[in-house]
Amino acid sequence: MMKVIDISAWQEWIDWQAVKDAGIEGVILKIGEHYSLDEKFIEHVNNAVAYGLRYGVYYYSHASFIREAVAEANWVDKQIKTYLNGKNPELGIWYDAEDKDMLEGYLNVVYPIANFISTLLDKGYNYVGLYSSYDWLTNIIDLKALPDYVPIWVAQYYPENSFAIENPNRICRMWQYTDCERIGNMGLDCSVYYE
C-alpha cells in the first residue's frame, strides 16, 4: 500500500521535494481533456521521473456516446506514443468519469467507459481502469456491464472505502480519500494505492 497524489494544470506549482519528503511514492497525472494535452503534463512527467516517483495518467472524459469514448482512447494512445515513447504508465491509464456531459447519451454511461478501456487494452496497454466517485459507481454507472478485471479508483471522502467493502469481487486499486491533504504549503488530492 502506498500514498499517491493526482495533479493537473490546476496545480501550477508543486513542491516536489515536499511531496517526496511526505512519503508520497506515486503520482497520477492528467494527460488531457477535450482532446487537448494538459498544459502541465510534460513538466509534471519530467518532475515525477526526476524525483523517482512512479506515475500513471488520467483522461477527463466528456463522452456520452461510444464513438466519442473510442476517439478519446485513440487520442490518449497517440499522446502516450508521442510523450511517453509508448510505454505503459506503471500506475495505469485511468478514465475519469464524473462529468455530467457523459450522461447525455441514450445508453448507460458504462458503455462508453467500457469501450474506452477495451480500445486501449486492444492496443496493448495492460493496465487501464476507471476513476469515479462513490456516488457514480453505486448509482449511475451500471457496473454489471463492466468486466470484473477492470480496476477501479474510487473517490470517497469518508473514513473508510465503502466501495471496496461493498464490492469485494471488484478490483479496487485506489481510494481517493481526500482532496485537501496538507503537503508542505499545498492541499492536494491524495489516494491510497493498493498493490
Domain that holds residue 38: 2-193
Domain count, the chain: 1
CB 183 within 8 A of CB 17: no
Q: How far is CA 33 from the centre of its chain?
A: 12
pLDDT (0 to 100) of residue 140: 97
Identify the band that residue 16 occupies on the pLDDT scale cut at 50, 70 and 90: very high
Instruction: Decide the pairing of beta strands 93-96 and 128-133.
Output: parallel
Tens-place pLDDT, residues 102-133:
999 999 999 999 999 999 999 999 999 999 99
What does residue 140 show for φ and ψ, rounded to 5 degrees? -115, -45
CATH code for position 21: 3.20.20.80
Tens-place pLDDT, residues 138-159:
999 999 999 999 999 999 999 9
